[in-house]
C-alpha cells in the first residue's frame, strides 16, 4: 500500500474547521465552566504523577553526581595492546551533542508526531515523562557500573603517560602510580570504559522514540507495511551510529558498546510500557488511562462535547469505548488516531 494511502484522511467534519491542531492539542472548549473543570482535573492528573517526576529528577541528579566520584581503578599491564590506542582530544559525538540527540530531539519529534496524530496533551505528557525516566534510569545504572567496574579505556596508556622505562611488577600488574598525567579529569575518566554511556543513553532516548513511533504507526497490525518498519527503526539507526563512534574515538571496547546499547534499549522499553500500551495492541497509539478517574463517566451528546470529552479525558474514554458495540477495523492510520473521537461522536443522543 502506498504511503499516501496509509495516511489517507477522511472527509473533514464541521467541527474540525473551528479548531486548529494546536488548539485541539491544548484544549479550548467553548464553555468557560467546563474549561475550568477540565483544567482542575488536569492539575489533579499532573499531581498524581508527581512521584514519577520526583523519582526521575532524583535519578538524574544521581547521574550527574556520580560523574565526579573517584571509582575503582583496575590494575593494568603496560604491555596490554588493547589499552595503547591514541587519546582523541575531539570526540565525534561530544557530551552536548549526545544530550541533544538522546533528549532534545526525541522531545521535539514526539511533540510533532503528537500534533499530527492524536493531538493529546496527555499523550505528550506520558511520552515526555517516559523518555526522561528511561534516560534517568539508564544514566544512573551506567554511572554506577562505571565507577564500580573500573575497566580501563582503550586509550588509558595515552592518558596515563607512564614514567619512562615503566614495567609491570614481578608476577603482577601496574597501577596508576606509574602515571605522570597531571590533568586529574583525564585520569578520572580513564577507568570508565564499561559500559558505554554514549551507547546506553543514545539507545535509551532514541529507543524510546522508536517505540513511540512504532505505537503510533501500528507497526504490528499484521498488515506488513514495510515503510512503517523503516520509519520506526530510523532512530535506532541513529543510536547505532553514536555507539559505533565510541569505538572510532577509542573511548570504548566493543564489549562496552554492546553492553551499553542493550542496557539502553531494555530500559527504554521498560519506560515506554509504564505509560503506553503494548505495541501489539489495537490501541497502541494511545497512552495508558490517567490515574485520576473522570468525575462524570458519561459519553458526550454532541459533536462539540465529543471534542471536549476527548481533550479533557486524554485517553480514559478508550475504556468506555472498548466496552461498547464492536466496530469494524480502521482502514487507515488516520482512523486509528481519531478512533476515540469518532466513536464518541457517533453515540446516540439522549
Cell of 63: 547521574
**pLDDT at position 346, please?**
45
Catalytic residue among 218, 225, 252, 336: 252
Catalytic residue among 198, 218, 225, 336: 198
Domain-located, residue 291? no
Cell of 50: 508527581
Cell of 100: 541533544
Residue numbers of the domain that contains 62? 50-164+173-275
**pLDDT at position 164, please?**
85
Q: For 294, which DSSP code?
A: P
Domain-located, residue 317? no
Q: Which residues contact 224 (CB under 8 A, 6 or more apart)?
A: none
Question: From CA 259, how far away is CA 263, in angstroms rounded?
Answer: 6
Taking Cα atoms as reference points, which of 246, 244, 137 lies closest to residue 193? 246
Domain-located, residue 213? yes
Domain-located, residue 288? no
Domain-located, residue 43? no
**pLDDT at position 43, please?**
81
Domain-located, residue 347? no
Q: How many domains does the chain have?
A: 1
Q: Would you place residue 348 in the very low, low, confident or very high pLDDT band (cuts 50, 70, 90)?
A: very low
> Taking each helix axis from N to C terminus, what angle separates 121-149 and 105-116, rounded to the nearest 10 degrees?
160
Q: For this structure, is 90 an active site residue?
A: no
Q: For this structure, is 252 an active site residue?
A: yes
Record the pTM. Answer: 0.76
**pLDDT at position 289, please?**
82
The answer on pLDDT for 302 being more than 60 is no
Q: What's the pLDDT tens digit per position in 316-336?
A: 444 433 333 344 455 566 666
Domain-located, residue 31? no
Q: Would you place residue 350 in the very low, low, confident or very high pLDDT band (cuts 50, 70, 90)?
A: very low
| Structure-model confidence comparison of residues 141 and 300, the more confident one | 141
Domain-located, residue 38? no
**pLDDT at position 295, please?**
60
Amino acid at each position: 500500500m502506498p504511503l499516501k494511502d496509509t495516511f489517507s484522511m477522511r472527509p473533514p467534519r464541521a467541527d474540525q474547521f473551528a479548531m486548529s491542531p494546536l488548539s485541539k492539542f491544548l484544549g479550548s472548549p467553548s464553555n468557560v465552566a467546563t474549561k475550568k473543570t477540565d483544567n482542575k482535573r488536569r492539575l489533579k492528573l499532573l499531581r498524581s504523577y508527581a512521584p514519577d517526576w520526583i523519582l526521575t529528577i532524583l535519578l538524574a541528579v544521581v547521574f550527574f553526581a556520580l560523574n565526579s566520584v573517584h571509582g575503582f581503578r583496575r590494575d593494568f599491564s603496560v604491555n596490554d595492546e588493547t589499552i595503547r590506542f591514541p587519546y582523541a582530544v575531539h570526540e565525534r559525538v561530544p557530551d552536548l551533542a549526545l544530550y541533544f540527540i538522546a533528549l532534545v530531539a526525541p522531545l521535539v519529534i514526539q511533540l510533532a508526531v503528537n500534533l499530527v496524530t492524536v493531538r493529546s496533551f496527555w499523550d505528550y505528557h506520558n511520552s515526555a515523562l517516559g523518555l526522561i525516566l528511561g534516560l534517568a534510569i539508564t544514566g544512573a545504572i551506567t554511572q554506577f557500573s562505571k565507577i564500580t567496574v573500573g575497566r580501563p579505556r582503550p586509550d588509558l596508556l595515552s592518558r596515563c603517560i607512564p614514567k619512562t622505562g615503566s614495567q609491570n611488577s614481578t608476577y603482577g600488574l601496574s597501577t596508576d602510580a606509574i602515571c605522570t598525567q597531571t590533568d586529574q579529569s583525564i585520569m578520572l575518566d580513564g577507568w570508565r570504559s564499561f559500559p558505554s554511556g554514549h551507547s546506553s543513553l543514545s539507545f535509551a532516548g532514541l529507543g524510546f522514540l522508536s517505540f513511540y513511533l512504532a505505537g503510533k504507526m501500528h507497526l504490528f497490525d499484521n498488515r506488513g507495511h514495510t515503510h512503517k518498519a523503516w520509519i520506526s527503526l530510523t532512530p535506532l539507526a541513529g543510536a547505532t551510529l553514536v555507539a559505533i563512534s565510541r569505538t572510532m574515538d577509542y573511548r570504548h571496547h566493543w564489549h562496552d558498546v554492546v553492553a551499553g546499547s542493550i542496557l539502553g534499549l531494555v530500559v527504554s522499553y521498560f519506560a515506554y510500557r509504564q505509560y503506553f500500551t503494548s505495541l501489539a495492541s489495537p490501541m497502541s497509539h494511545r497512552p495508558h488511562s490517567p490515574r485520576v478517574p473522570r468525575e462524570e463517566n458519561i459519553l458526550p451528546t454532541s459533536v462539540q462535547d465529543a471534542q471536549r470529552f476527548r481533550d479533557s479525558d486524554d485517553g480514559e474514554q478508550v475504556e468506555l469505548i472498548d466496552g461498547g458495540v464492536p466496530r469494524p477495523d480502521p482502514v487507515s492510520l488516520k482512523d486509528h488516531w481519531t478512533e476515540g473521537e469518532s466513536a464518541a461522536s457517533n453515540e446516540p443522543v439522549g
